[in-house]
Amino acid sequence: MTDLKQQTELLKEHLDQLKKRYEKSQPPEDKRDKAFFLFVKETTEPIYGMLATWEQTALQAVKNRTLNIHPHQITSTRENMELLLMHSFFVDVKRKRYMELNKSVHYIFDQVLRDL
């Protein structure tokens, strides 16, 4: 399961980078700006791929009883990180909500790493 450990650590790094982006960035002037959209898509696409792979690997680990986490928590973590991806670029959610999502994703990532 070192593969899952590496995936989780890498996603945690991305999560920290997203938080920094959220704290430093201003909302785009025009959310329909095609250049900005393409930049966001290009930047986030690899992370979406990593998240999908991580989810499958983590769900398999739960099934094999390597992880002591409910499958729903794995799926929710993927969904929350996807929300953070968008909120980090568009800065379209209140700071409190952003930090709650960030904290919940970190919690599950840390739980995965502890179980491994």
Digit-coded pLDDT (tens) for 74-89 = 999 999 999 999 999 9
In terms of residue numbers, what domain contains 67? 2-115
27-30: Cβ within 8 A, 24+ apart: 27/90, 27/91, 27/92, 28/89, 28/90
Residue range 39-47: mean pLDDT, rounded: 95
Residue 61 exposed, middle or buried by CB count within 10 Å (0-12, 13-18, 19+): buried
* Band of residue 24 on the pLDDT scale cut at 50, 70, 90: very high
Q: 103: part of which helix (H) or strand (E)?
A: helix 95-115
Residue range 10-26: mean pLDDT, rounded: 96
Residue range 101-115: mean pLDDT, rounded: 97
Query: What CATH number is attached to the domain comprising 104?
Result: 1.20.120.440
Whole-number Å distance between alpha carbons of 92 and 89: 8
Into how many domains does the chain fold? 1
* Band of residue 1 on the pLDDT scale cut at 50, 70, 90: low
Q: What is the pTM of this model?
A: 0.92
